[in-house]
Amino acid sequence: MKIAIACMLAMLFAIALPHDASAETIPMLKDVQQLSANQLKVTYDQPVDGTKGTTPANYWIQSMSETMPTGIATLGMNDSVGPGNALTADRVTITSADTSSTSFILTFKQPIQTGKSYKLIICYVTAPNAPPYSGDNGSRVFVGK
């Protein structure tokens, strides 16, 4: 709930504050697929800036069942998104999965726990050459396989 409120506030600020990014230029999360025991494939609805798409600080993994995050999770189920609890380069490597910059592979340093529910949350990702964006790019719940 707190994450939804935080992302909604971020979106309100993004709308209320002057900026050049329009809703049409904001990439949104389209799909999340688990590829292996430690990999997720994230697909956006349009091409994204390669640097923003591969920056761990733009991604969060929320545990849907624990108050204290464990494993790949950076947020407990009651935590809010913030710069101090985003993914980091020591936890995940993110690479482009295609030449169109619409899909990215998140390779975690530890396995995704089987049967556990998580929510992937993405913020601040823009289209190529777009101005900065201070809102969210969507979220998706997935269960470890």
Q: Inform me whether the pLDDT recorded for 121 exceeds 90.
A: yes
Distance CA 141, CA 127 (A): 23
Burial environment of residue 120 by CB neighbours within 10 A (0 to 12, 13 to 18, 19 or more): buried
How many domains would you assign to the chain?
1
Domain harbouring 47, CATH code: 2.60.40.1220
Structural domain including 105 reads 2-143
Read off the pLDDT band of 25 (50, 70, 90). Answer: confident
Bigger pLDDT: 85 or 6? 85
Are 105 and 95 in contact, with CB atoms under 8 Å apart?
A: yes
CA–CA gap between residue 45 and residue 73 (Å, rounded): 24
Confidence of residue 17 (pLDDT cuts 50, 70, 90): very low
